[in-house]
A and B are shown apart, each in its own frame.
Chain A
Amino acid sequence: MTGILSYGIYVPAWRIARETIATAGGIFSAGGERSVAGWDEDSVTMAVEAGFNCIGDMDPGEIDAVYFATVTPPFREKQSSAFIAAALDLKNTARTYDITDTLRSSTQALQAAWNDVKSGTARKVLVVAADCRPAAPRSQEEQFYGDGAAAILLGEGAVIATIDGFATAANALPGVWRRETDRYPSSFDARFNKKCGFLQDVPTAISSLLSAAGLTVGNASKFVISVPDPAGTLEIARLLKLDMATQLEDLLFSQVGLTGSPHCLLLLSRALGKSKEGQYIVCANYGDGCDAVLIKTIAAADTITESGAGIINKKKLVRSYGRFSAIKEAAEPGSLRKQGNPSIVKYWRDQKWGLRRYGMRCNNCGTLQYPISICCLKCGAMDNHVDVRLSRRGKVFSYTHDLLLGPGCTESDGINPCTRAIVDLDDGCRIFIEMTDNVPEEVDIDVPVELSLRLLHEKGDFAVYGWRAKPDK
């Protein structure tokens, strides 16, 4: 059977209370918290995290294609999915696609991926969606938005759900836009976007989807409705006459915020986890019109839901608006300090260890080591090793909090230390690595850590991705 094999989500470790944003700006608080991508995270790094959580221990070599859906690709010209595929260690014959520019990119990617697996042009296809949307300081969006990612793996095998239909309601409404040179999204009027946008398009797409399948609203156990307004979801639910208590999937607004392209998949993963066998889920994704997807569950997958809940519940608070602004500013493309100009050729040449996270095991003395090098660091044997994909998890052997040199070898601000750790990975390989997402107090000898793909720096005016270690609790 062909269908959804697995799914995974990623929400950054950091949250900020909307009250903190509101107080700083002298504006209203929408309540709850929003997620905040760390300064070294972007849509690519978050997509990789969601991808890992989705594919788990599966052999990534079985994946024939990856679709990356986002409205915040780090490069205007350069394919993000190629980096994502490398970091996930997909084979280099895997097809890579970026689908961008609309919040519907995720459902469009899902449909394209579905077409691939149904037509047999690919056996397994990974859909990853991620966004890290900029918002103007003190704007409503700054509170509404959250950062996150979600991934779904489609293919043949032990599926947990099938996709039984797609429908679309297109709309050339101005809505929300961001031109090439715009720093933040613009829109005309939220009331206009609501009345002439999602209040029309979402019901239209859902009706079209259900009628094509010969179903009614009452036949679906869950509705996932992603629109750019938390109150709008409730209005649509009322229009559709849903049973609010059971049929409407929570928007995650109070814990995460509206994450953009990945949001409907994020909510879908929640709905899938809660569903029993043989139930229908309707997934509506608004953005320049609406896509609706009909999903029928084959088997429950509670364990994945638990890990998803863990990701959402595991959080650290950004305690001031100043810190939040500093994180967001650092996350702006090109804003990471860029002293120096290390050879970009090396980044390409060494991507097997740099992006794909391989070490090598010496055939002569057996030492597992990082990075890959021509001669063994222990015995000097030349060109006599096998490449081994390294474990993501390990323990701190020793560490320091460096206030002299910042992460990515940029000048430190002298206030926020860069934690550097010597880590013994579970497979016995030892690496020296920068830490991220940690507060100094969390780090000690033997503390467990997990490797995470991050934006290392932007020297040479290029986004250089590589591995950092984060606390693994």
Chain B
Amino acid sequence: MKKGIKDRVAIIGTGVTRFGELWDKDEKALLAEAVHTACGEAHVDLQKQVEAVWVGTQYTSSGIAGGAFTEALKVYGKPVTRCENFCATGMDAVKNAAYAVAAGIHDIVLACGVEKLMDQGSHGLPGLNEIHPLQTGTSMPAIFAPCAVRAFKQWGWSKEDLARVVVKNHHNGAKHPLAHFRKEVSLEVVINAPMISYPLGLYDCCAMSDGAAAVILTTPEIAREMIGPGNYVTIKGIGHSVYSLNPFNDPDFTGLSFPANLRAAKMAYDDAGITNPAKELDFGIVHDCFSINELLSMQDMGICKHGEAADMVRSGGTAIDGAFPVNPDGGLKCFGHPIGATGVRMICELTRQILGRAEGYQVKNARAGFAHNLGGPFTTSMITIVGTPDWEAGG
């Protein structure tokens, strides 16, 4: 009989590096900094206490196989698994680490992720062009842009609606000490920025960025013993769903909603016992790789009805002091998207918000929230719900 993940895994340590164009640091330095920060926060000895490691990197230039971890930390002998699952790469590392704890295989594990995108000298995500000579690939913004075109047609959304997402996230991220971009932007600047892939302009797209993040996971029992109440959170639900690499070939694809999102959200909410996420959760970290995706994905997550996301943003409903804050950290808009690091960083952000440690960008009364990734051409969607140990859905 399956038990689900709720309250069976605790997060006791988080580590996040500064995100940005970190020309003077390599992936090893970033990963080591994140991992040692997380171990320090958890009061865990990496060599002696961490039993197993999951490390996320999308590109082999940022790390390959288990060596992605050992080459950075020079800690040998542990079972190390490299994860890759598009933009959910980092969160998948956390998921698998959490499953190992919940399964009772390990007591204390490390999940971490890193990406050094800037070293590759590309203006967009590199390496999408070698898959098939006849399916010549596309840029990432060009995958989400046709969805915006459909949403404009279907719901009358506009570039201004997209821009409001960007303005909100920059407002939040300006206060985050680790963000790549720590500045506010105006609606006019966002709307008039150079086009990247119509209708997505420069500010509609998250930046190329470097960074690393890490979390230490254990059982709630060990967490209580090791660092005491008030210093850890528990995982309430995990949902993960993978759909096609070629969604545009599906005659039923609408561009307005993503099946992987719907499925992953249901799994996570069922895990946590949630029936009304907008009411029962306090905030969300939504994958805003492109502004349109924050709108479409928050709808898929059930934060509002389909077609109403732009209105909700316009009325301030997703602002940091709104009814349901979305991306209080500034999101990918302000952090950029070092792929392997992103999902892990989001889990760190959830943890810090819920522990009341998000100084300057703290959501009031944040007791439970979710983090979400949507990777590839809407291929892989993952949601992790985290809350205080005593949080219960509907409570």
Contacts and interface: CB of A to CB of B under 8 A. Distances in A.
Interface of A: 339-344, 346-347, 350, 353-354, 367-371, 377-378, 397-405, 407-412, 417-418, 420-422, 424, 428-432, 434, 440, 445, 456-457, 459-460, 464, 466
Given A370-B249, A417-B198, A430-B253, A398 B132 contact: no
B131 interface: yes
A418 B195 CA distance: 12
Interface string B144-165: 0111011001000000000000
B137 A405 contact: yes
B142 A405 contact: yes
A449 to B, nearest CB: 14
Given A368-B251, A432-B248, A464-B134, 12 more contacts: A342-B131, A371-B134, A400-B142, A402-B145, A403-B196, A410-B129, A417-B197, A422-B248, A431-B248, A456-B133, A456-B136, A466-B133
Contacts of B63: none
B275 to A, nearest CB: 30
Contacts of A377: 244, 246, 249-250
A404 B197 contact: yes
A466 B128 CA distance: 18
B315 interface: no
A398 B198 contact: no
Interface of B: 123-124, 128-142, 145-147, 149-150, 153, 195-200, 244, 246, 248-251, 253, 255
Contacts of A418: 142
A403 B195 contact: yes
A399 B130 contact: no
B49 to A, nearest CB: 44
9 contacts: A339-B129, A340-B129, A343-B133, A354-B134, A404-B140, A420-B142, A428-B251, A457-B136, A464-B133
Given A340-B129, A342-B129, A404-B196, A434 B149 contact: no
A369 B197 contact: no
A409 B136 contact: yes
A347 B145 CA distance: 28
Contacts of B137: 405, 409
B134 A466 contact: yes
B193 to A, nearest CB: 12
Given A377-B244, A402-B139, A420-B142, A347 B250 contact: no
A431 B249 contact: yes
A341 B249 contact: no
A346 B132 contact: yes
A342 B133 contact: yes
Nearest to B247: A432
A460 to B, nearest CB: 7
Contacts of B197: 400-404, 417
> Most B CB atoms within 10 A — which of A346, A398, A434?
A398
Given A404-B141, A405-B137, A398 B249 contact: no
- Chain B contact residues: helix, strand, loop or mixed: loop
Top 3 nearest A-B pairs by Cβ distance? Answer: A400-B145, A432-B248, A398-B146
Contacts of A401: 195, 197-198
A398 B134 contact: no
Given A346-B133, A346-B134, A431-B249, A402 B142 contact: yes
Nearest to B199: A400
A404 B133 contact: no
B126 to A, nearest CB: 10
A453 B146 CA distance: 23
A459 B133 CA distance: 8
A411 B199 CA distance: 19
Contact of A371 (B135, B136, B142, B253): B135
B353 to A, nearest CB: 33
Nearest to A378: B250
B376 to A, nearest CB: 13
Contacts of B250: 369, 377-378, 430
A445 B249 contact: no
Contacts of B196: 403-404
A404 B142 contact: yes
Contacts of A410: 129
Contacts of B133: 342-344, 346-347, 456-457, 459-460, 464, 466
A400 B149 contact: yes
A411 B153 CA distance: 30
A369 B249 contact: yes
Contacts of B198: 400-402, 417, 440
A340 B130 contact: yes
B244 A398 contact: no
A86 to B, nearest CB: 13
Given A405-B138, A405-B142, A457-B136, A342 B130 contact: yes
A401 B123 CA distance: 16
Given A342-B129, A464-B133, A445 B139 contact: no
Nearest to A462: B133
Nearest to B250: A377
> Most B CB atoms within 10 A — which of A369, A402, A459?
A402
Contacts of B253: 422, 430
Nearest to B200: A400
B11 to A, nearest CB: 36
Contacts of A429: 251
B141 A402 contact: yes
A344 B133 CA distance: 7
Contacts of B248: 422, 430-432
A404 B123 CA distance: 7
Nearest to B150: A398
Nearest to B122: A411
A409 B134 CA distance: 10
Given A377-B244, A430-B249, A432-B246, A341 B130 contact: yes
A271 to B, nearest CB: 39
A16 to B, nearest CB: 27
Contacts of A456: 133-134, 136
Nearest to A408: B136
Nearest to A456: B136
B141 A400 contact: yes
Contacts of A346: 132-134
A445 B136 contact: no
A384 to B, nearest CB: 18
Nearest to A445: B153
B229 to A, nearest CB: 47
Contacts of B244: 377
Contacts of B135: 371
Nearest to B377: A432
Contacts of A371: 134-135, 249
A465 B141 CA distance: 25
A143 to B, nearest CB: 34
Contacts of A347: 133-134
Nearest to A424: B251
Contact of A409 (B129, B141, B145, B149): B129
A434 to B, nearest CB: 7
A430 B199 CA distance: 22
B251 A420 contact: no
A343 B131 CA distance: 8
A369 B248 CA distance: 10
